[in-house]
Amino acid sequence: DAGVIQSPRHEVTEMGQEVTLRCKPISGHNSLFWYRQTMMRGLELLIYFNNNVPIDDSGMPEDRFSAKMPNASFSTLKIQPSEPRDSAVYFCASSPQAYEQYFGPGTRLTVT
Amino acid sequence: SQQGEEDPQALSIQEGENATMNCSYKTSINNLQWYRQNSGRGLVHLILIRSNEREKHSGRLRVTLDTSKKSSSLLITASRAADTASYFCATDARGAQKLVFGQGTRLTINP
SS3 state of residue B89: strand
DSSP H stretches of helix in chain A: none
Q: Which of A41-45, A60-64, A81-85, A95-99 has the highest mean pLDDT?
A: A81-85
Please list every residue in chain A whose beta carbon sits closer than 8 Å to the beta carbon of residue B41: 105-106
CA–CA dist A77, A48 (Å, integer) = 11
DSSP A53: E
Inform me whether the pLDDT recorded for A110 exceeds 70. yes
| Inter-chain CB proximity B97 and A91 less than 8 Å | no
Please list every residue in chain A whose beta carbon sits closer than 8 Å to the beta carbon of residue B99: 33, 45, 101
Determine the pLDDT at residue B36: 98
Q: How many CB atoms lie within 10 A of CB A55?
A: 16
A21 close contact with B: CB closer than 8 A = no
